[in-house]
Structure 1
Amino acid sequence: MNTQRLLVIEDEPTLARLLSYNLTQEGYEVTVEDHGTTGYEIARKSHFDLILLDLMLPGMNGFEILNKLRSEGIRTPIIILTAKNAEEEVVQGLKAGADDYITKPFGVSELMARVSAVLRRASGIEDKPEPANSEAEPAIQLGELVIYPERYEVLLSGVPITLRPKEFEVLLYLARKPGIVMTRDDLMNAVWGFDYIGGQRTVDVHVSSLRKKLELDPESVHIDSIRGVGYKLVVNKKPNSQRV
């Protein structure tokens, strides 16, 4: 089994050493960079299995790095490092495509749990079991919304909608039971897995982003919030799921 490669972009020397030491002890191959611009260049030119990214960096801050990497199609899993009680930073980071976050200060056990969980999800080994048969899952059509589960593609009123992987999985989960309220725990467990230790705010952020992308045809399909419970997919033209 190949050693997994991690990139740590952190400019605080003590924390960088702590991260490097503990991750290396767990068997990861660790590269540390303390400057945003240099860290970005390394991230885009070399292969890493995971990036630990501080948000406040010299040269290029973490948000800039995250946005540029995602805009260039680089899907390397990223965990952002953020200050305690900085909810706006967390929301902004998740919307930009971060896979998880960890707030400072944090314990070594929490760090290792998050790193392990993100790497496991990225590998798809546990989260995507083989189907019972070899036939591809048929498309789901709900009004003007068409979802192709095997291809991670979505059409709304005939127009392709670009979704990040987790946004797609949230939509697919809701679309399989249109009109049925799904709790945040339902979505968290189905999309992120039982071992995900991020807060339910992650679900809210992804649903919010998904809603904006569905605004192309809100009269056909939209996501309703059920206060204190969760969300449901509402289809106006064809309330029942069809297989095509």
Structure 2
Amino acid sequence: MPHKILVIEDEPTLSRLLSYNLSQEGYEVKVVEHGGEGLQEALQAVYDLIILDIMLPGMNGFEVLTKLRQKGNRTPVIILTARNAEDEVVQGLKHGADDYITKPFGVAELLARVSAVLRRTSTDTAEPAKPSDDKVITIGELNIYPEKYEVVLGGEVIPLRPKEFEVLLYLVQRPGMVITRDDLMNVVWGFDYIGGQRTVDVHVSSLRKKLEMNQQTVQIDSIRGVGYKLVLSKK
């Protein structure tokens, strides 16, 4: 069965470019031009990937993405952002986007990113882990359950996105060690991930804020120009 891709894009030339090239690669493509209609389509039908423009009529891409995630829809999303719009990239990743493409872009880059996201998400869901309360990593005030992707503090789950959890788990397994951005990128996102190191920084920043809001013993320090280090501090 071909992968199904939903394109939410209101610029006719770009939507035709996306539809044509994705179809040529064997994907089944549906194009929606309105933000609100795109949200409804994404919620009503099953897609393997959504390509989402930020500037849309009716409801912008950030709103669409936020509502999707709030309703529990975990379909991978690639956002389309303007050149030099780093704030859009950061905001998109914080709202749950899986990757981004900066306009204008080449067909080869588009297809590579689509293939990488689909391959990565297919691998993530191919063999779902069986929950087990027996496997737990305790560090500081936190109990971390690798097979359930859960971090628990005082009986309450700290809500982390999957990639945030994977970043934390990798750091927890190497306490006190300086981990480079490249290491995190390769381990968490994969060697074939095309996105830049900014993706790592955004996820670490979000993870750090969630940890600091809930406890004080486990902290992530930034090592300027290198990467990050997990440290334990006394309360």
Per the normalisation by structure 2, the TM-score is 0.94
Distance 2:65 2:201 in 1: 20
Partner residue, 2:78: 79
More helix, by proportion: 2
Partner residue, 1:241: none
Runs (4 or more) in structure 1 with deviation over 6 Å come to 127-131
User: What runs of 5+ residues in structure 2 fail to find an aligned partner?
Assistant: none
Partner residue, 1:32: 31
In the TM superposition, residue 83 of structure 1 has moved relative to its aligned partner by 0.5
Distance 2:226 2:182 in 1: 9
Partner residue, 2:104: 105
Partner residue, 1:213: 210
Contact 2:133 2:145 (8 Å CA) reproduced: no
Contact 1:139 1:146 (8 Å CA) reproduced: yes
In the TM superposition, residue 215 of structure 1 has moved relative to its aligned partner by 1.4
Distance 1:218 1:139 in 2: 18
Number of equivalenced pairs: 233
Partner residue, 2:161: 164
Identity of aligned residues (%): 70
Per the normalisation by structure 1, the TM-score is 0.91
| 2:5 counterpart of 1:6 | yes
Structure 1: which amino acid aligns with 2:14?
A: L
Structure 1: which amino acid aligns with 2:83?
A: K
| 2:228 counterpart of 1:231 | yes
| 2:172 counterpart of 1:175 | yes
Distance 2:61 2:133 in 1: 39
In the TM superposition, residue 158 of structure 1 has moved relative to its aligned partner by 3.8
Contact 1:137 1:150 (8 Å CA) reproduced: no
In the TM superposition, residue 236 of structure 1 has moved relative to its aligned partner by 2.3
Corresponding residue SS for 2:213 = coil
Corresponding residue SS for 2:6 = strand
5 Å matches for 1:35-50? 35-50=34-49
- Root mean square deviation of aligned Cα: 2.0
